[in-house]
Structure 1
Amino acid sequence: MRLPGTRYQEHGWEQVRKLLGLCSLQAFRQIEMHQVLDPGQHATLLDAYTDAVAACLRASARTVRGEAEGNSYGESVYELSLGLLYELQAQPSYWTAFVAAMANEHARSGAFWLDAAAEGVLRKKVNDMYATLRDKVDADNYIVTTGRECSPNKIYTYRMLDTAYREISGLFAAWEQHAAQIGAILGRQLAGTPIEVRQMKSIGGCKAEWIIRWSETLEQFGGSPGPLHTKSKRFASLKNSPEKIASLMAEIGDYEELSSNMDRAEDWQGQAGEAALWLEDYWRVVGESEQAEASGQPAEEDQILAAPEPDADADADVDADPADEPREGEAAVSAAELAAEQARAAELSLPLRYLEVARAAQESGSWTVRMLRDESLPVRLAVYQKLLGVADDTYPDAWLDPATGELPTLQQLATLDQISMPTLRKRRNEAIARLQAAGAR
C-alpha cells in the first residue's frame, strides 16, 4: 500500500521487521537488560540499545536482506530499518512502553531475556514497538505531505482496507474454489464466471459493500470474525459507513495510480506473507483495543476526511497484467514448458506449479537477482541455500517445499533444472564467486 509521505506500508516492511528483530536480539546480548527495571536508567539503556542495533544494521547493509528493496521509492530494507531506529530516539515514548512491557514480563517470568527459548517473546515485544512507531512516523509524514489530518489509527485503517481488498482479489482469482463465499460477498448466487472477477483490476474497483460482506463471511469461511465484526469498537463506525470505506479506498487507488515506480507493483502484491503479517498486527491491535475498552478508556476515533468521488471510468483502459510479463532475467515460458515443469515437480512431490509460483515470488529489483539474471531459478535457489541455509526468514513461502518448510534439496533443484548434481554445484559455485567478486569492488 502506498499513501503520500508514507515509507513503511509497502512490501518491504516484512524484511524491515525481521532485520530490526534480529539486530535487537543481538543488542540484548550486549547491553545491561536488567536496567529495564530501573526507570532512571531507561534513557541510558535506549542510547546503548540504539548504538548496538545501529552497528548490527550497518554490518547487515550488504547482505541479501539488507539490500532488498524496501519500498517503491528505492529505499533498501537497511535504510528503512536504520531510519526507524533513529526515530525511536526522537520519539522515546515508544521505548518507554517497550521497557514497561519488559518489566511486566519480568514480574511474571523473571529475567526471561537470559533464556534462549524466550527469543520469540523478545521478538514479539520488539515487533510491537516498531509496528506502532511505524504508523506514527507514516502518519506524521502524511500530514506534512498533504496538509491533511491523519493519525496512526487512520493509517492502520487504510492498511486494513488494502489487505481486505487483496484478500477479496485472491478469492476472485480462484472463484471456482470459493464460489459460496464469493456469492455471499457479491450478494447473489453465482451462475458462471462473475463479471466482477474481470472488472476489478485495482482497489479503486473494489466496492465498499464487498469489504463489509467479506468481513461478515470470515467467521463462516475462515473460522474467526472479520475486522469489521469483532467485539472491538475500532472499526465499528466503518461497518455501517460504506461511503467512508469507499473514500478511503479511492484515496489509496488514486495515489497508487499517480505515484511512480508502478511497473513492478504486482511483483510483491501477491506475496502471502504480507497478509499474514497484517493479520498478526491486527489481532495485536484488537487485543489492545478490547483491553482499553474493558478498562473504561475511550477508544481512539478514526479521523475520516472527505475524498473525491472515485472515477467510474478510472479502470476502463488498463494495460496487461504485469504478472503476465516475464520478469528480469526470466524468459517467457510457453504452455508446453509449464506442463513439463509441472511434470517434474510432480515427480518430486512438489506443488505442480512450484517453479511458476516461485518465479513470481522473487524480488526482481534486488541486487542479487540482477547479478544472477542469467541463471535459472533453481541455480539461484541453490546459491541462497549455500549462503543462507535451507531455511531463512527472507525466503518467500513459494520457494519452500511444503513437506519440509525448507528450500528444496540440491537433488530436487537439479531435477527441476534438468541438469546433473555436479553441474548444479558448478553453476552455483560460479554464481557465488561472481557475487563475491562484485561485492569486493
Structure 2
Amino acid sequence: MDDDGWRETHGEGVRPFTPATLSGWEEYPALEVLFPWGSLGITTNRSWVSSPSEKSLLQRWARLVGEQDVEAKARLFKETRDRRLDSRAACLPGFPHPNRTIDEEPHSHPRRLRIALRSFDRQWLIADNRVLDFPRPDLWASLQPGQVFLNQQSSHEISSGPALMATALLPDTHHFNGRGGRIHPVLHPDGTANVPTGLLRHLAGVLGLDEVTAHDLAAYAVAVAGHSAFTEHFAEELLTPGVRLPLTRDPHLWSEAVRVGQEFLWAATYGESGVPPDASASEQDGAGFSPGDPRQVRYMTPIGSAVPDALTYDEENNTLHVGPGTFTGVPPGVWAYEVGGMRVVKKWFGYRKASPTSRKTSPLDDTHVTSWPSEWTKELIDLLSALRRLVDLAPAQQAVTTKILNSPVVTTVDLTSAGVLPPQPRASRARRRVVLDFDGPEQQA
C-alpha cells in the first residue's frame, strides 16, 4: 500500500473507477455531447432478414410465407417477445408494409434496403417492421440526403484501428466491429444539426471563421479519431469506452483537419458523403481509382462460378487470392486494416463464403447463394479501393492530429463557461419533422 505505483483517480462521480489521465483527455469534450442525439443501431434479433445477396433474401421470404405448418413457420420466423407471426407493428418512417401479419402474408416481394451491417460491409435488409425487433424508427426517419452516421464503440475497449467510423447507410447495432456501438447521426430527422445549441457559432467565433457546419465538425472528428495512431496514443484512456475530441483553436489546423476528414468520409461512405480528393475521383463510381492509376486494384484471375471457401494474401506480390481468383495492387495495410480488432476484408469475405453462418437464428439462414455473383467482385474491388484510400490518408490524419494535440484546444470547461454545455434538455432526443393535418400541427409518428 505504500509503494509509488498508485495514481489519483478522476474527480467525477458516475464514471468507471480509473486513474486520472495525464494526456489532457479529461479536458476534451466527449463525442456524445458534441452530437448529443445517439442511438443503438438496428437490432433485428434474427439474422435471416439481412444478407449480402438480395436474391437470398427473396428466397428466404418465399420459403417463410409459403410454409403451411404453423410450428415450422414459427421456427423459420424465429419468434421473440417483440415479434411473432401474428404481431402487428407500426410502419417504419418512409417504409410502409401491408396491413396484415406475417402469418397472413401471401407470396410477395418484401421491400429491401441497403444497410451498413459492419464497418465497410454493405448488405441488404428486409425493410419491414414486422420482422425487426428493435429497428430504431428515429434512425429510419433521419435518412435523408447529406446524412452521415458516426459510430463509436461504446461498450468495449478499443485496442486497435480507428476509434471512430462513419457510414451514409443505416447502421446495424453491431456495425462498428461486431460488438455493439453507439450511432451519432449528424442530422436530426427534421434536417437540423445534431449539436448543442450555440456550439457551431461558438467554434466559428473561436476560429475566426464565418461559419462552421455540423458536417465540418463530423469531418474534423473522423480526421482526428478515425485512424489507428489516435487509438494507440490514447490506449489507456480508451480502456473506458467513449471518444473525446481535442477541438483546436487554430483555424489553419481546423481547416486542414476538415479537408482530410472530408476525404475520409468520401472513402468510408463509398463516395456517398464527404469530398473526393480530386476531380478524377469524383468521376468514379464509388471510391475506386481511375484506369491507369497505379493504386488501382486489378482483377487478374476470375473467381469462377463456385463460391470459394478460402481467402489468402501474398504480401510479397501484394495479391489477394479469393479461391482461384486474384486481385493485385492490394498493399499489406489494406489486407491488415481492422476496426476494433475486426479484420475488415476477412469479415467481409466471411459473410459471403458458402458455409453455415455463425449467426444462425433460423433454418432460413442456410439459404445462401450457390454461385458467386458478379456484383460481389465489384463490391470487393470497391472495398479494397476504399481501404487503400484510408491507408494512404492515415499519415495525414496522424500529422494533423499530432499538431492539434500540441496546440491550444477548446475544452469542456470553455464550452461550459460559454453556456454551450451541458446540452439543453431533450437535446439527446431526435427532432422529428412537423406535419400538418386538419387538427393542426403535430409531430410525425
Name the TM tier (shorter chain).
under 0.3
Q: Which has the higher helix share?
A: 1
Q: Which has the higher contact order (CA 8 A, sep 6+)?
A: 2
Q: Which has the higher strand share?
A: 2
